[in-house]
Structure 1
Amino acid sequence: MKILVFGGSFDPVHKGHIAMFKKALQVVKPDVAHIVPAYHSPFKDKSPTPFKLRMQMAKAAFGPLSKKIVFDDYELKCGGKTYSYQLVKYLQQRYENAEIYLLVGTDCLNDLHKWKNPQYIFKNAVVVAGKRRGYTENKADFKHIFLPGSFPKMSSTRARAHILASGAIPEDKITPAVAEVIVKNDLYGLQVHRWLKEHLKPNRYLHSVNVAELCALLSDIYEVPIEKAVQAGILHDTGKALSGPELIDFCKKHRIKVPYFEDMCRCEPLLLHSYVSAWLAKHEFAVKDKEVLLAISEHTLGSLQMSTLSKILFVADISSKDRKYKDAFVIRTLAVQDLEKALLYAANRKLWFTIDSQKWLCPVGIELWNHLVKCTA
């Protein structure tokens, strides 16, 4: 009896998953196929998307492909991190004299030796691999089958980042059936976009989307996790929902620590929005990542010890494609070539904008400028 098993976080299921599973059904011709959503993948943080909803997406995506599919909640019943060798053992116990075919992507294939108890997998299962475009085949010393053809280079991480950045489902990656589950349950930041549309002016909302998209682009270049960059970008201006006096009251009420607070309240209270945005990200949108929160709080004035993420957001905020002044294009062009030069140029432009507007110069911005100049001297 042939058993095909396909496990994964499926957070969300994308068209690459579907194409690979469909081809595996044709090649292996299993008597039964198990789709096994992970409860907690050994290689990832625990998904905030409930298991129940990821199972719904799996059923919506894979259900139409065959009547021989078992949607298996084995990992949910285990209730913790579950390893592939344990999954193979479970199937051996469930089916007598079973031939087990373990479906993986080629990004996993080269790392199988690092998995928990890999020899058990190699001895008791045949690995079925779908090649992603651009894959260079390595010699594998265990039983394996390569599916014919190649499969689109997609990832659930990028699908989630796309939805969080734009508020839209990427139709080239997600099927309508899966999209329906996402929309119905407000997954992957759709609720963030609804809040932003309700609280920000249309041009400010558009700016937030554009900043998130530029952050995504720069995160690839400078090797920052894309979801962190997009999260910082889309939430960076939530504090702009409040007026100057409201920002002052908000900071006092919630005891938000702000440098030069009294001067800022008297001279330029709108600068408080960065710190309020970080507070809202943490308390309204449950952002726990300290680096993301710090980047949001620093996106207007900067700091002397900015992380790469903070630099990306600082630059993206002043140079997103909705910014129409000529220097925005210069900074944006610099940003994809040299982030440090783009940061220096952006800090320079911010200071000159402030001086030309005859506004108060916050010492934090001056300190940043002197620090950057000293570092390049």
Structure 2
Amino acid sequence: MKVLVFGGSFDPVHKGHVSLFRRAMKVIAPDAAHIVPAYHSPFKAKSPTPFRLRMKMLKQAFKGIGKNVVFDDYELKQGGKTYTYQLVQYLKKLYKDPEIYLLVGTDCLNDLHNWKNPDFIFNNAVVVAGKRKGYDEKPAKFRHVFLPGFFPKLSSSRVRAHILACGDVPDTVPASIAPTIRQNKLYGLEVHDWLKAHLKTNRYLHSKNVAEMAAALSDIYDVNVESAVRAGILHDAGKGFSGPELVAFCKKHKIKVPFFEDICKQEPALLHSFVSCWLAKNRFGVKDKDVLSAIAEHTLGSLQMSTLSKILFVADISSKDRKYKDAFVIRNLALQDLDKALLYAANRKLLFTIDSQKWLCPLGIDLWNHLIKQEK
């Protein structure tokens, strides 16, 4: 008896998953096919998307694909991290002498040897894989089948990043699941509702543009795209407050701000970075320290800026909604050399502040001196 099994987080399921599964169903022609969403993948943090919703979306995306398809809640019943070898053991007990076909994407193929108890998997299952264009095939020492043709380079993380950055559901997911995503405010849609309610329209659009640019730069400088987008979309969450409101908010929540008294007297609008950081952490549950630091540092910088902090600092001043000449210069520089773009951006900020006859915060001056020392 042929049993095809397709496991994964499916967070969310996308058209690449559907295309891969349909092709495998046609090529393998299994007697039974199990789609098994992970409760807690061994390779990832536990998904904040409820299992029931991921299962619901799977059923919507694969509706009508075959009568022999089982939407299996095996991992939910396990109630913790479940490894693939355990899934294979489960199927061997469920069916009498099954011929198990394990469906995986290209990304997994070369890493299978690092999975738990790989020999058990290889001895008891045939690996079925789809190829992406440009895939560097390595000789496999286990039974495997490559599905004919090539499959789109899609990932659930990219889908999540798109939704968080843009506030809409991309066409890379099946149309049947879009209503579920919208109704349940998944993958950052709740963030967009909050921002639209608390920011002026132009500021909200600016946040989306910064998130989009941060995503593009994250690909160039090897930063997690979801982290970049999260920092970008939330960096100005505190911009809806007036100067006095920012001061009161910082005092109420005991937010630590360097040169706080001077900033309060001279330029309280600068507090929005620190308030945005507080909101990201306490209102939206962001735990990533790099994301929080990037948000806090995006206006004045710091002497220990991470790559993500540099990306956000540069994206904020040069996103595509910025129409002044220097924005184009910084944007082009950022595509080639992030540190040079950062230096230029810091220079423009200082000159703008001076030309506007505003107070120069010592943090901005310290950043400039630090960058000049590094440049030399």
Q: If the TM-score is normalised by the length of the shorter chain, which range does it land in?
A: over 0.9
Alignment of 1:271-286 (within 5 A): 271-286=270-285
The amino acid across from 1:24 in the alignment is A
Instruction: Tell me the equivalent position of 2:315.
Output: 316
For residues 116 and 131 of structure 1, the distance between their equivalents in structure 2, rounded to whole angstroms, comes to 23
TM-score by length of 2: 0.99
For residues 79 and 121 of structure 1, the distance between their equivalents in structure 2, rounded to whole angstroms, comes to 22
The amino acid across from 1:92 in the alignment is K
- The structural deviation recorded for 1:374 is 0.8
Alignment of 1:171-186 (within 5 A): 171=171, 173-186=172-185
Deviation readout 1:253-312 (Å, 9 max, x if unpaired): 001001111111111000000000000001111111111111100000000010000000
Q: Is the 8 A contact 1:214 1:316 kept in 2?
A: yes
Q: Is the 8 A contact 1:63 1:69 kept in 2?
A: no
- The structural deviation recorded for 1:114 is 1.0
Instruction: Tell me the equivalent position of 1:147.
Output: 147
Alignment of 1:164-243 (within 5 A): 164-171=164-171, 173-243=172-242
For residues 229 and 136 of structure 2, the distance between their equivalents in structure 1, rounded to whole angstroms, comes to 30
- The structural deviation recorded for 1:182 is 0.8
Q: Is the 8 A contact 1:267 1:360 kept in 2?
A: yes
- The structural deviation recorded for 1:63 is 2.4
Give 5+ residue unaligned stretches, structure 2. Answer: none
- The structural deviation recorded for 1:210 is 0.2
For residues 142 and 321 of structure 1, the distance between their equivalents in structure 2, rounded to whole angstroms, comes to 49
The amino acid across from 1:128 in the alignment is V
What SS class does the counterpart of residue 96 from structure 1 fall into? coil
- The structural deviation recorded for 1:136 is 2.3
Alignment of 1:1-377 (within 5 A): 1-171=1-171, 173-377=172-376
- The structural deviation recorded for 1:140 is 1.1
For residues 282 and 140 of structure 1, the distance between their equivalents in structure 2, rounded to whole angstroms, comes to 45
For residues 133 and 255 of structure 2, the distance between their equivalents in structure 1, rounded to whole angstroms, comes to 49
For residues 164 and 358 of structure 2, the distance between their equivalents in structure 1, rounded to whole angstroms, comes to 34
For residues 136 and 252 of structure 1, the distance between their equivalents in structure 2, rounded to whole angstroms, comes to 56
- The structural deviation recorded for 1:324 is 0.9
Identify the range of structure 1 (110-119 vs 5-14) with the bigger mean alpha-carbon deviation.
110-119
How many equivalent pairs are there?
376
- The structural deviation recorded for 1:15 is 0.4
Identify the range of structure 1 (126-135 vs 303-312) with the bigger mean alpha-carbon deviation.
126-135
- The structural deviation recorded for 1:64 is 2.2
- The structural deviation recorded for 1:238 is 0.6
For residues 325 and 264 of structure 2, the distance between their equivalents in structure 1, rounded to whole angstroms, comes to 31
For residues 183 and 232 of structure 1, the distance between their equivalents in structure 2, rounded to whole angstroms, comes to 22
The amino acid across from 1:357 in the alignment is S
TM-score by length of 1: 0.99
Q: Indicate the RMSD between aligned Cα atoms, in angstroms.
A: 0.7
What SS class does the counterpart of residue 64 from structure 2 fall into? helix
For residues 15 and 26 of structure 2, the distance between their equivalents in structure 1, rounded to whole angstroms, comes to 17
For residues 139 and 83 of structure 2, the distance between their equivalents in structure 1, rounded to whole angstroms, comes to 24
The amino acid across from 1:300 in the alignment is T
What SS class does the counterpart of residue 147 from structure 1 fall into? strand
4+ residue runs over 2 A deviation: none
What SS class does the counterpart of residue 148 from structure 1 fall into? strand
For residues 201 and 334 of structure 2, the distance between their equivalents in structure 1, rounded to whole angstroms, comes to 26
Identity of aligned residues (%): 73
- The structural deviation recorded for 1:125 is 0.8
For residues 151 and 327 of structure 2, the distance between their equivalents in structure 1, rounded to whole angstroms, comes to 38
Q: Is the 8 A contact 1:167 1:190 kept in 2?
A: yes
- The structural deviation recorded for 1:3 is 0.6
For residues 109 and 338 of structure 1, the distance between their equivalents in structure 2, rounded to whole angstroms, comes to 33
What SS class does the counterpart of residue 64 from structure 1 fall into? coil
For residues 240 and 337 of structure 2, the distance between their equivalents in structure 1, rounded to whole angstroms, comes to 33
Deviation readout 1:60-116 (Å, 9 max, x if unpaired): 111221111111011111111111111000000000111111100121111111111
